[in-house]
Amino acid sequence: MRGTAVDVVLDVGFFHDWMGRLARSIEENCDELTRLDAAIGDADHGINMLRGMRAAIEALSSEAPKDPAGVFRVTGSRLVAVVGGAAGPLYGSAFRAAAEALGPKPEITVPELARALRAGVKAVQRIGAAEPGDKTMVDAWLPAVEALESAASGSVRSAAAAAEAAAREGMLATIPMRARKGRASYLGWRSEGHQDPGATSTRLLFAALVDATR
Ligand code: ADP
Ligand code: MG
């Protein structure tokens, strides 16, 4: 894909492809997500996300949303509906808030996507009350959104790559943290030294965005 981050537009096909890539990546990394959750949680993050994204992909195929917001709305609704763990409702609410922020536009610019994903992480924080440093998905989401917001020039590809790099850094930064939210917080200091599963799946969301720009 060519053009600058400000002039390039992302359509419904792009968003649908992005979600498909995320679903495949969750499938490929399901065992890894489960392994991470086994260390500081209840070993279900991989399977939770896989169940949710499979349901989302099915719904996207049958409902065929007509704009980017529709893709996020359908994905978010399925995640809220079918995932039992904490992460399903959190991701689901994030996608639904992002859909609201996008509005009924056929084409989305990178700055508009950044604003939508900012609304998404705000929803996560409103519901889960996690601050940066609490060892949650927020630690990957926030830096990724910030990177996307500051990538005002350059290609959409490089904007996505900057977001993914920031998400990865945020994910790795969760390793030494002590969990203060979610199941891992029950472990207290014993949660230190383990990478947060939700921050890891958030990194996959941004990695799938990079793949979708290829
Ligand atoms: P559960 O903890 O209910 O088993 P999952 O295993 O699917 O749900 O998801 C765990 C992930 O959810 C954690 O690694 C963390 O990133 C995220 N999480 C949990 N609680 C919160 C919260 N209050 N705010 C943000 N993220 C959270
Ligand atoms: Mg779990």
Which residue's C-alpha comes closest to atom 4 of ligand 1?
Answer: 85
Residue for token digits 């472990």? 187
Q: What per-residue confidence (pLDDT) applies to 212?
A: 96
Q: Which ranges of the chain have pLDDT less than 50?
A: 1-3, 5-6
What is residue 8's predicted lDDT score, i.e. its pLDDT?
77
Q: What pLDDT is stored for residue 132 in this prediction?
A: 98
What is the DSSP code (8-state) at residue 195?
Answer: -
CATH architecture type of domain 2-212: Alpha Horseshoe (1.25)
Q: Whose CA is nearest to atom 26 of ligand 1?
A: 136
| pLDDT tens per residue, range 135-190 | 999 999 999 999 999 986 678 899 999 999 999 999 999 999 999 999 999 999 99
By C-alpha distance, which of 176, 152, 169 is closest to 206? 169
* Residue partners of 116: CB distance under 8 A and separation at least 6: 72, 98, 99, 101, 102, 108
Give me the pLDDT at residue 56, please.
Answer: 98
* CA separation for the pair 146, 150 (Å, rounded): 6
Query: Distance from CA of residue 167 to its chain's centroid?
Result: 10
Q: Can you point out the beta strands (E) in the chain? A: 9-10, 108-109
Q: What's the pLDDT score for residue 6?
A: 46
Quote the pLDDT of residue 9.
86
Quote the pLDDT of residue 84. 85
- Tell me the best of 26, 181, 185, 203 to mutate to test the pocket of ligand 1, counting ligand atoms within 8 Å of each CB and taking the most: 181
158: tokens are 């490089």
